[in-house]
Amino acid sequence: MPMISLLEHTRTFNDSIAIISANKDYRYTDLHERSDQIAAHLLGDSQDLHEEPIAFLIDPSFEYTASQWGIWKAGGIAVPLCVLHPEEAMAHVLDDTDCLRVIASRPHIATLYDLCQRMNITLIDYGSLSAESLQRPLPDINPERRAMILYTSGTTSLPKGVVSSHKNIESQITALIEAWEWSGYDHILNVLPLHHVHGIINVLSCALWSGGCCQFLPRFNAREVWHIFEEGRVNLFMAVPTIYFKLIREWNEADPVTQQSWSQACRSFRLMVSGSAALPVPVLEEWKNISGQVLLERYGMTEIGMGLSNPYNGERRPGHVGQPLPGVQIRLVDEQYHDVQDGQAGEILVRGPGVFKEYWKKEEATKEGFTEDGWFKTGDIAVFQHSYYKILGRNSVDIIKSGGYKISALEIEDILRKHEQIEDCAVIGIEDLEWGEIVSAALVVKRDPVEIEELKTWLSKSLPSYKIPRYYIQIADLPRNTLGKVTKNELKKYFNG
Ligand code: MLC
Ligand code: AMP
């Protein structure tokens, strides 16, 4: 049966365990059988979905994976929704993709019901999808076709859809498999959300492509992670720095016998990776003391997959992100897009088969995202020194990274300005060892001071919890430069003072 190569070769893994989800083992045969059924349902009478965007709202699980594969097998574009998003944020994704069908698992049906009615979208209950075996051909899918849209915050207010083709995804996966020596013996624990590349590509897809096993914990919980480590089946772990920080805290709070048992459990891991945000050197060092593992730090982005990585075999240099991954080309350039010399700071440009196809329905933004000769402009600033790249920061103060999530200050400011008591505002990230940055807001109010708890409740109608500012100040005026632009670096001092 012709099928996209991403999934075809995994049929040979047959009875190996692909997924552990809700304490149940699922084999590769189970995953193929269920995703074939979902594909058949989505296809109905048609031969091919021809890149129809199909959204799905399902916690990280077997059901999530079977839906993603089912959409791909039927020729659709997989659009994973964030289980933490309020209705308004989901409405943006559904509206922007012109999505006509959404698959949801039971706990999320109620969340989507009214929204789908209003938007005239068919809501498919995952549990009601027929379990009859499939007796029909699946479409043959050209690898250049669109496979997935992930929404990412940028320097525009609302998140943009990053479109990756099957070929992009395959390149992103195979680069990591080669660099980090994945094999069918690998068993990884996923604690990450599955609407971003870190969880989708680095964890889930690499495991399945290799014939390994992905075990799910639907939401991160430090104690549960330690318990799963203690069971001794997991040999790989990948997470954002905040998660390592929280695991260290949990370890520090445990009694000495438990500490010893948890540390012992880490000795049998073959690899632990950190990424999505800068790994503070003290976190790397403390983790090494506790676990005996030197975290491998790597650098990536929704638009490119992973770009740079410390070596699997070789020196993992603290505070650095290593060298380009297989197939990835990297340049550092100045503001005129001329290459800078080694040792000088420059913006990271990326080229390679893993780089995304386009921003969904945003031709202008796509064009602006690349140089004329096809290099993607990341907006991240780095330096190449002594054979290793080091990330120095970003070229925009409007992008915040908190808990590994990328957050647009402009999106939050636009929402805050709609509040009846707020005249003006500025949102910034305040450095923090646990979260990387903490979202913080300076408010210029119209009349009386704003009641902050009420404001947070009001914001939660539009924003997920991780985007809601934690720190607030209320001031008479925002600091501005001679052109009238808010000087956000200056504003940071108001919070620290
Ligand atoms: C939650 N809290 C925060 C916060 N998020 N406080 C400050 N800043 C934040 N960002 C608070 C809550 O209000 C709550 O407080 C407490 O922390 C616990 O909340 P929670 O929601 O239960 O948090 P938790 O589950 O612990 O979440 C932490 C996390 C999560 C690290 C697990 O942020 C996460 O999953 N991050 C990963 C995101 C990710 O996958 N990014 C990859 C993007 S792709 P209280 O007071 O109520 O207790 C990418 C490319 C690449 O970047 O290179 O990989
Ligand atoms: P996202 O758009 O959510 O995919 O986030 C990508 C961004 O995360 C990059 O552009 C970087 O700013 C940041 N990032 C990822 N990995 C690292 C890292 N190891 N160190 C510093 N920043 C990182």
Tell which atom from ligand 2 comes closest to the C-alpha of 406: 3
Cα 277 to middle of ligand 2, angstroms: 5
Q: Which two structure tokens, joined as six digits, stand for 223? A: 């104690």
Ligand minimally distant from the alpha carbon of residue 319: 2
Q: How many residues does the chain have?
A: 497
Domain membership flag for residue 336: no
In a domain, 420, yes or no: yes
User: 430 lies in a domain?
Assistant: yes
Residue 239 near ligand 1, beta carbon < 6 Å: no
Please give the distance, rounded to the nearest whole angstrom, from the Cα atom of residue 394 to the centre of ligand 2.
9
User: Would the CB of 419 count as within 6 Å of ligand 1?
Assistant: no
- Block means of pLDDT (10 residues each) for the chain, 497 residues, are 72 96 97 95 95 98 98 97 94 97 96 96 94 81 97 86 97 98 98 98 98 96 98 98 98 98 97 98 98 98 98 98 98 97 98 98 96 97 98 95 97 96 97 97 93 97 96 96 94 87
Ligand 2 pocket, mutate which of 153, 156, 380 (most atoms under 8 A from CB):
380
Give the residue numbers spanning the domain of 464. Answer: 400-496
Give 463 Cα–ligand 1 centroid separation in angstroms.
14
Backbone angles phi, psi at 460, to 5 degrees: -65, -10
Distance 473 CA to ligand 1 centre (A): 22
Which residue puts its alpha carbon closest to atom 2 of ligand 1?
Answer: 466
Ligand nearest to the CA of 309: 2
What would the two tokens of residue 270 be? 């073959």
pLDDT at 1: 46
Nearest-CA residue for ligand 2 atom 5 is 301
In a domain, 416, yes or no: yes
Residue whose C-alpha is closest to residue 299's, from 329, 327, 279 = 279
> From ligand 1's centre to the CA of 305, what distance in Å?
21
Ligand 1, atom 46: nearest CA belongs to which residue? Answer: 470
CB distance 55 to 97 below 8 Å = yes
**Residue 486 CA from chain centroid, whole number:** 30
Distance 426 CA to ligand 2 centre (A): 22
Q: Is residue 451 part of a domain?
A: yes
Task: Using the mean position of ligand 2's atoms as its centre, give its distance from the Cα of residue 141 in Å.
Answer: 31
- Is 456's C-beta closer than 6 angstroms to any atom of ligand 1? no
Euclidean distance between CA atoms 38 and 47, whole angstroms: 14
- Ligand approaching nearest to the C-alpha of 306: 1
Using DSSP's 3-state secondary structure scheme, residue 442 falls into: strand
| Among protein residues, the one whose CA lies closest to atom 21 of ligand 2 | 278
* C-alpha span between 465 and 437 (Å, rounded): 15
- Domain total in the chain: 1
| pLDDT for 36 | 94
Q: Classify burial at 340, counting beta carbons within 10 Å of its beta carbon; exposed 0-12, middle 13-18, buried 19 or more.
A: middle
Tell me, in angstroms, the distance from the centre of ligand 1 to residue 275's CA: 14
Domain harbouring 408, CATH code: 3.30.300.30
DSSP letter string over 132-143? PPP-SPPPP--T
Three-class SS state of 484: coil
Q: Tell me which ligand sits closest to the C-alpha of residue 153.
A: 2
Q: Is residue 425 part of a domain?
A: yes
User: In testing the pocket of ligand 1, which one of 173, 202, 240, 325 has its CB within 8 Å of the most ligand atoms?
Assistant: 240
- DSSP letters for 312-376: SSS---TT--BEEPTT-EEEEE-TTSPBPPTTS-EEEEEESTTS--EETT-HHHHHHHB-TTS-E
In ligand 1, the atom with minimum distance to the C-alpha of 222 is 26
Q: 466: CA distance to ligand 1 center in Å?
A: 6
| pLDDT at res. 3 | 56
Would 360 be classed as within a structural domain?
Answer: no
Classify 193 as helix, strand or coil: coil
Any domain includes 262: no
- Percent composition of the chain: helix, strand, coil (DSSP 3-state, to 5): 35, 25, 40
What atom in ligand 1 is closest to the CA of residue 298?
53
